[in-house]
Chains A and B, each alone.
Chain A
């Protein structure tokens, strides 16, 4: 083995560079490793277990004896008529929340996008409903909706809009309404804050320029505000629809999924299957399908708001 001196020098230099790159790699890897390990374990292991639960069924009892059933669990969820009822309920609820809620939040944000005094004060006040635990907010609204002694019925009667007490929790449509209104109430701070921040980031001179070009208020809105608000709008839409699609506690506290099962959403059914029926495999499969459902809706939203579509405003 005859290595001459130049070879040796090269060898040592190569070692040095690779070692120092290993060293500089090590620092940032050291920083992120604990976090990555933690997430991988605490989320990854259950995720794997979820996959396992989805494709197996009990022979006698959980963990002890299961047999591989492939897609059977998923198919049994998809072919159960109930599941489609729950999916429809979930979509209806979500549509109500974002269809009614976001225009309201946008309207509020537009109205407030001006030089108002005491900014810190009212911004803090506006934020408060978001920071209250959802269950507590729902309980407060439930108190107002209770038929005989709730304020809402009373106010409606006083104003003359209705004559008899509305039985909010006995009818499907009204039960939805209670859940949707409560959710919108809870989400208002979130949507308004994000949209307001988005509106404020639009430079004034753009409005001036369009004004000089002859654009009135409405056209300014269409061609300056809306396009530039797109990122904020997308963010609000994504956040709120995701919250609504996986929503559990608001509806469960308000209506328990009733009357009957007419407001039961997918999340509630997963809970029932898991805890009441102990049916881990069905619940797991259902949970998986919920993820797919959310991804589909997310995809539709992002596609619908991508840069190549015109924001039509009527």
Chain B
């Protein structure tokens, strides 16, 4: 670990005139393997390291980062951060004030059993070769794809308030993707979830138990069956979502909407703002009584789990929505202070070269009761949709439209006709208020979203969502 580099950068920033400074030395390793139709599509490893220095000068922010954190370059980078902060003061604003936080010292590492970087390439490739071989045995399948993604991030954080932290997070994931093409239709099924499968804060033991080989044939068969299915009809109906699609539903229509930087207009020009305002705390009826949402950075296995965020604030479990009523935002030391609160510890940066932003931790729906089968069995007439395929939502997180890979008609508590190209649309609060069933712990899964984009320059974060299947009433499906 390189805590001494972070400390040196903080000292240099203070010497250059910073009132507050923090610095992160980050070393990242990643490995990605993709196999398609039993041929290698890509295998690559990447490493990157550097240091980012963030400063406050007279209440104005500056940030600079370098990939050569050695010698005079550290002081030069710290000095540049100070120069940037001084330039920001050209446009007067209320000086930034950070909420108090006790200086943190210590180490933290995400738990795992088997280091996936020590598993042989032969074993990894063999797993994907066998899974895609089994998918290819299904007649009519065009492409059988499998992928493995591994990430390890080591961060050394120091601040001028005395924090000195070293953390290591390890994320591992894998998945399958089956594509069938015929007659102007392209249909896809994924396992365990779309967009590179199921990624978690874990080691090889997580990938080994995903059941890629066991589920390969079913995944491919459904993709082929979708080619001859009927298009999802356009109607207003009862909608049951599997936990995989609920991951996306929570992410887009709750997770982003409760980011306090968006609420305060700090992302207005890029990703947008939010329909939620500070005055909504404790008042806004966001959802039905059955819906409680928690931001939990302490849960094992989540992509949004850590010991401290990138401001040195300890990981927390924060109620966001309690029995349908909005309670609190995910926030930073700056933004929480602006509305008279304390940071919920949600600041994270993408690598060493970007400044930290408010990012989702693990935004989870608290489990209700019953299994997915119970919810479907309790539904007389409606639609069941599974696995996200497409997403779109407006700049205030109000109007959304999401597509899924597959749907079935529910009749008398049973799945009947299969539909292809299903999608649904709604208004965020109307939709969540119509929720009348949330599944229990037995079908609750802690998913990982590896591709959450935000900020300028663009940053990508890996965030978590623990979700259960759920049911919604009077939903418009089949938008054409």
Please say whether chains A and B are actual partners in one complex.
no
| Chain B residues with a Cβ under 8 A of chain A | none
Chain A residues in contact with chain B, CB under 8 A?
none
